[in-house]
Structure 1
Amino acid sequence: MGSPKKNQSKGFFSAMTSGLSMFGNAMHRSVNGLLGYEGVEVINPEGGKEDAEEEAQRGRWRQEDRDSYWKMMQEYIGSDVTSMVTLPVFIFEPMTMLQKMAELMEYSHLLDRADECEDPYMRLVYASSWAISVYYAYQRTWKPFNPILGETYEMENHGGVTFIAEQVSHHPPMSAGHAENEHFTYDVTSKLKTKFLGNSVDVYPVGRTRVTLKRDGALLDLVPPPTKVNNLIFGRTWVDSPGEMIMTNLTTGDKVVLYFQPCGWFGAGRYEVDGYVYNANEEPKILMTGKWNESMSYQPCDKEGEPLPGTELKEAWRIAAAPENDKFQYTHFAHKINSFDSAPRKLLASDSRLRPDRYALENGDLSKAGAEKSSLEERQREEKRNREAKGHQFTARWFDLTDEITPTPWGDLEVYQYNGKYTEHRAAVDSSDGIDENDVRSTEFNPWQYGNLSTE
């Protein structure tokens, strides 16, 4: 089948036109269409028998698993299932949500380039390309484990980046993360909101992501689009993120608005991202176009969004090579995240790598993984009962709950702030001569190692 020319979007950024009315005609054209960017993948958005058979051959589902899962989940249609459902372990990948958060660091060199960049608009090209780069990892349709309250994930040995994340709330499930190197700091408070629709689930990123570039202190704010996981049970499971990603330089008022095209029948529009970098006067300065699973490119443009004469499309980012036929569709970086090669010395006992259910699943022992997962969940319930009986409340160790409530398109968010204690902890550990270098894998997973109790 030939590739039909993609129709130019008549509603480009339509959801934002009321708030960004001065963006003009540039908002009403598709950059991909403007540049003749084409590409088609045959896919049935609703799922089909052939898709289901292909998925079964890949080992994801057995028919009896689908049937039992469907019966169990029907009662939850229309509900937020983020933390209220005990899910079967065979739909999981051997990674937690805290580790998933760290995947955004794979292309952290793009933030380094943004920090080094003199051009304020190219700074947003690199920073937004960094934000897009993680969507290749997000297309994996296995579910990461929900972290236990107090669970952490630490990472180093990657581009000079130090990363720490902590599960700061169980109901609703919330995580906080902080990363830093010589060029930037990254801070996120994440609270996912979901809506189960039967054979699909909508995921709303109720979170706040901030990046500070250290050279001049520029503060960047990111609002990602929602995500839809299609064909959870019937058909070939796949992920789509239709909508807008907005990154704003809160220091200057410049911003980039990128539109993630929705996937239609025969894959029309799937993966495609296009948009513009705007100055503080809402005038387009640079157009951006590409596919979130391949690459992003940019080109200077005029006030109508047309490419400037004498300029050419240049690549800002390209996906790294990935392992072939990987069981969980992991990238090389995802494997690094899961390994102890990216762990610091004297790993916290609360680290996700040490979870026995995650480790068992990684080794292919689904029976043990399921038993360990149930055991951890029961221990978490017991810890909560004991804490409440004593009149205590949980207090995060590495992040502090602030008084700030920030609005998002999907609801208000309580903001957690990195308190600097992990930096002090890591400096003390690294300067110590008495570190036990025994195999860290033998450390017992313990998210309650500090007690984390407060009577306040």
Structure 2
Amino acid sequence: MVTIIKDEKKIFLSRPHSINGDSEVDSPKSIQRISSLFKNIKPGFDLTNFKLPPLFNLPKSHLQCYGETVYCMGTDMLSRCNQADSPVDRFISVVAWNISTLRPPIFGFAPYNPILGETHHVSRANLNVLLEQISHHPPVSALHATDEKQKIQLIRCQLCVPKFNGIAVVNEVRGKRQLKLLSRGETYEMNSPDLLIRILPTPGVDWDGDVRIRCPENGLEAELHYGHKSFLGLRGSHRSVKGKILETSTKRTLFEFNGNWDRTVTMKDNASRKLTVIYNAEEVYSGLKTPIVNDLQGVLSTESAAVWSELSEALMRHDWEKANEAKNAVEEKQRELLRERESKGETWVPQHFTLTRNKDGVWDCLPIHQWVPPAPIIVPLS
């Protein structure tokens, strides 16, 4: 936990999740208390605008959690994608990097819902990461990360749609992700698994579903399936991932992989039958550093660590009355800004992205600038 106060500007930064889902929070809440949140909610209800009491919040915003999947790594998996010599090796590296972006959720806790226009700007070495909440209803988040030295660009547009089905919350993660290796002339497109939060009969939380990665330039694609234990906890493999890499044109399977995204994933070469470990979670999660403020004056008022600093501090002190006051203060300020815009007939416009929606209702975003500038908040390398 890092708190900085200067000239009435307060910044609160908490450590990233570890491989076991550890965070600066207490043990998970009781199943009875969690179940009470849903006692008046009917199956099929859209929970997008559901307000969670501070008791169930992590001391960070969703934007910070999204950003951590990119800038908090024990091993630089992203650079490996660009450094591999052959198209096949680069594709394998992209698959491994994609697996590394998953973080162990904590049952009974959730990050804050970002406010409209909230930003999160962090750098790790040459990698600069910028996120912005570009829509509030529905909640759409945009991410742009660049490494100008290696000519790497990552663009992500994400909309989470949580629904309660009576015994679980299925959080469907919509949106497109693009990883561009500009010096290689390659663009990798991929989606995200969904987040499954089981309430009954066996509580738990898992990433679940199918992910497809494709690169038109090298003619390869991958199919990944993330699995979980059954609702009774008797079948299935906890945090499992399996899949294959194949040629797009012939659909011939080149490699198959299997394992657990919180442990290791092994790949089999179908031609040579050779087995190789392509992903080791210990390497990815080891030695994760808490971000620090490098330039306080450069921190925007919209920065997540500033917007939610009062609430995060109250949560860490278990001061629930102060936490409720802090959360209500942030929300009331947003309502005031909305009323002001409506009275002036103004429409809010994102500062760092353009936002579009096609005829099928799919949201997409593009960064306004090609490169993300260095951030005032950095991740220490040692």
1:452 is aligned to: none
Tell me the SS of whatever aligns to 1:136.
Answer: coil
Deviation at 1:236, TM superposition (A): 5.9
Is 1:300 aligned to 2:269, yes or no? Answer: yes
Q: 1:332 to 1:195 in 2, by over 3 A?
A: farther
2:183 corresponds to which letter in structure 1?
R
Flag the structure with higher helix content: 1
Deviation at 1:132, TM superposition (A): 1.4
Aligned partner (choices 327, 346, 351) of residue 303 of structure 2: 351
Structure showing greater radius of gyration is: 1
2:333 is aligned to: 379
2:362 is aligned to: 413
Tell me the SS of whatever aligns to 2:350.
Answer: coil
TM value normalised by structure 1:
0.68
2:188 is aligned to: 220
Tell me the SS of whatever aligns to 2:153.
Answer: strand
Tell me the SS of whatever aligns to 1:135.
Answer: coil
Gaps of at least 5 residues in structure 2 are 1-25, 377-382
2:136 corresponds to which letter in structure 1?
H
2:367 corresponds to which letter in structure 1?
Y
Deviation at 1:200, TM superposition (A): 1.6
How many residue pairs get aligned? The number is: 343
**Identity over aligned residues, as a percent?**
22
Counterpart CA distance in 2 for 1:342 and 1:415 is 32
Counterpart CA distance in 1 for 2:158 and 2:348 is 18
Does structure 1 retain, via aligned residues, the 8 Å contact 2:34–2:108? no
Cα root mean square deviation, aligned: 2.8
Aligned partner (choices 272, 281, 286) of residue 255 of structure 2: 286
Deviation at 1:227, TM superposition (A): 2.3
Does structure 1 retain, via aligned residues, the 8 Å contact 2:28–2:108? no
1:297 corresponds to which letter in structure 2?
T
Superposed CA offset, 1:236-268 (max 9, x none): 642223321111113233101112234223353
Deviation at 1:76, TM superposition (A): 4.9
2:12 is aligned to: none
2:205 corresponds to which letter in structure 1?
V
2:197 corresponds to which letter in structure 1?
V
Counterpart CA distance in 2 for 1:200 and 1:143 is 15
Deviation at 1:276, TM superposition (A): 1.0
Tell me the SS of whatever aligns to 1:168.
Answer: strand
Aligned partner (choices 307, 316, 322) of residue 368 of structure 1: 322
Superposed CA offset, 1:126-162 (max 9, x none): 1122111232334565211000111100111x24210
2:69 is aligned to: 104
1:160 is aligned to: 126
Gaps of at least 5 residues in structure 1 are 1-57, 303-307, 324-330, 431-456
1:7 is aligned to: none
1:255 is aligned to: 221
Flag the structure with higher strand content: 2
Q: 1:343 to 1:177 in 2, by over 3 A?
A: farther
1:150 is aligned to: 117
1:379 corresponds to which letter in structure 2?
K
Q: 1:139 to 1:258 in 2, by over 3 A?
A: farther
1:405 corresponds to which letter in structure 2?
N
Aligned 1:119-268 pairs, distance under 5 A = 119-138=86-105, 141-156=108-123, 158-181=124-147, 182-183=149-150, 184-231=152-199, 237-264=203-230, 265-266=233-234, 268=236
Counterpart CA distance in 2 for 1:332 and 1:374 is 36
